[in-house]
Structure 1
Amino acid sequence: MLFKVFYQESLHQVPVRENTKTLFINGESERDVRKKIADRAYNIEYVKPVTGAYLEYEKQNEHFKVLEI
């Protein structure tokens, strides 16, 4: 299943919406995704499954890229 992860690059800063970044990653569950990116020291705000029409919409974005871990 594909998940969209909303995160801040630093654990030591207060999350600010304008600085939120996203990445897409395949995983079995939200827990699996969090484990896969735990070594990156991101401040993870939210992990959301991406399916159906929402996935098709995201694929149209020029920055759509699935992180392979």
Structure 2
Amino acid sequence: MIFKVYYQETNTETPVREKTQSLYIDANDEVEVRQSLKAKPFHIEHIEALSDKHLEYEQSQPDFRLWEK
């Protein structure tokens, strides 16, 4: 399943919506997503499982690429 992760690049600053980044990761569940990213200095705001239609839309965007674990 593909998940979209909304995050801030640093976990030491207060989250600001305009600075929110996103990445896409293939994992079995949300726990596996968090385990894959725990070594990164990210402040994870939200993890969203993508439906087939939502994934199709995201894949049509020029900045779509899967995160390499």
**Fold shared by both chains (TM-score > 0.5):** yes
Which letter maps to 1:44?
Answer: I
For normalisation by structure 2, the TM-score amounts to 0.96
Q: Per the alignment, in what secondary structure is the counterpart of residue 41 of structure 1?
A: coil
Which letter maps to 2:64?
Answer: F
Which letter maps to 1:59?
Answer: Q
Q: Once superposed, what is the RMSD of the aligned Cα atoms?
A: 0.6
Q: Does 1:61 align with 2:67?
A: no
Note the 1:1-69 alignment, pairs <5 A.
Answer: 1-69=1-69
Structure 1 residue 41 displacement after superposition:
1.5
Q: Deviations over 1:13-59 (max 9, x none)?
A: 00000000000001110010000010011000000001211111001
Between structures 1 and 2, the one with greater strand share: 1
For normalisation by structure 1, the TM-score amounts to 0.96
Structure 1 runs of 4+ aligned residues shifted over 2 Å read none
Paired positions, count: 69
What's the % identity of the aligned pairs? 36
